[in-house]
Amino acid sequence: MPEQDAPQIYLVTPPEFDLGTFPARLTQVLEAEPVACLRLSLATRDEDRLMRAADAVREVAHQFDVALVIDTHVVLSQRLGLDGVHLTDGARSVRDARKALGPDAIVGAYCGQSRHEGMNAGEAGADYISFGPVAGALGDGAIAGDDLFTWWSQMIELPVVAEGGLTEERIRALAPITDFFAVGEEIWSTEDALASLRRLRAAML
């Protein structure tokens, strides 16, 4: 993506949501703001719950022609006819996921703060690489810094996603050097998700 193009929104679901109310919240957001892709990212490993959530979210996403990918679950992505999968283990599963899902599916890979892992994932067939968190890191305190995104945008053609700890300030800094911002709890944890998204969107432009 040329640098003069504004980054796009890559929307991520909350880790837990009410099937009775979340589709309406999601609809409100997708009606009002352009979203490039939606990721179903639930904390649960319960297959029945994942399937019911995927059905509910897919109905809304496809109504607005938004691609829907699911965290980690290659088999469920196939079974439910989703658009692809977002892998959270760097390059390790990319080749197998691509083989299972075929050339037309979306296969993305979260690579933490590792340029090397990102390059390996790209070579293995990933459609995009996600780096993060970009601020407010927990655990070992590691963050994906501006220098990583600068290098990637200059050297690698594969689209890059910034995620984790997004603020208006971080978005403004990263907007010229990233293709997508993965926005999730930053908006869903607020009372007015759409207003929150619009504030973050304004910082991308």
82: number of Cβ within 10 Å:
24
Q: What is the CA radius of gyration of the chain?
A: 16
Q: How is residue 150 written in tokens? A: 């600068």
CA-CA-CA-CA torsion sign (148, 153, 157, 160): positive
43: number of Cβ within 10 Å:
9
pLDDT at 5: 82
CA distances from 69 to 5, 151, 199 (A): 24, 27, 25
Using a 10 angstrom Cβ sphere, with 0-12 exposed, 13-18 middle and 19 or more buried, the burial of residue 170 is buried
pLDDT at 72: 95
17: number of Cβ within 10 Å:
18
CB 21 within 8 A of CB 191: no
pLDDT at 147: 97
DSSP 8-state assignment for residue 184 = S
Q: Who contacts 84 (Cβ-Cβ below 8 Å, separation ≥6)?
A: 67, 69, 77, 101, 105, 106, 107, 108, 127
* Backbone φ and ψ of 148, nearest 5°: -65, -45
pLDDT at 3: 42
pLDDT at 141: 78
Ordered structural domains, the chain, with CATH: 8-204 (3.20.20.70)
Instruction: State the Cα–Cα distance between residues 174 and 18, nearest whole angstrom.
Output: 32
Instruction: State the Cα–Cα distance between residues 145 and 134, nearest whole angstrom.
Output: 6
DSSP 8-state assignment for residue 7 = P
Instruction: Give me the numbers of helices (H) and strands (E) for the chain, helices first please.
Output: 9, 8
- Reading the chain (205 residues) residue by residue, the pLDDT tens digits are 334 589 999 999 999 999 999 999 999 999 999 999 999 999 999 999 999 999 999 999 999 999 999 999 999 999 999 999 999 999 999 999 999 999 999 999 999 999 999 999 999 999 999 999 999 766 677 899 999 999 999 999 999 999 999 999 999 999 999 999 999 999 999 999 999 999 999 999 9
Q: Who contacts 107 (Cβ-Cβ below 8 Å, separation ≥6)?
A: 84, 85, 87, 94, 97, 98, 101, 125, 126, 127
CA distances from 82 to 3, 68, 113, 180 (A): 30, 6, 28, 20
> What global pTM score does this model have?
0.94
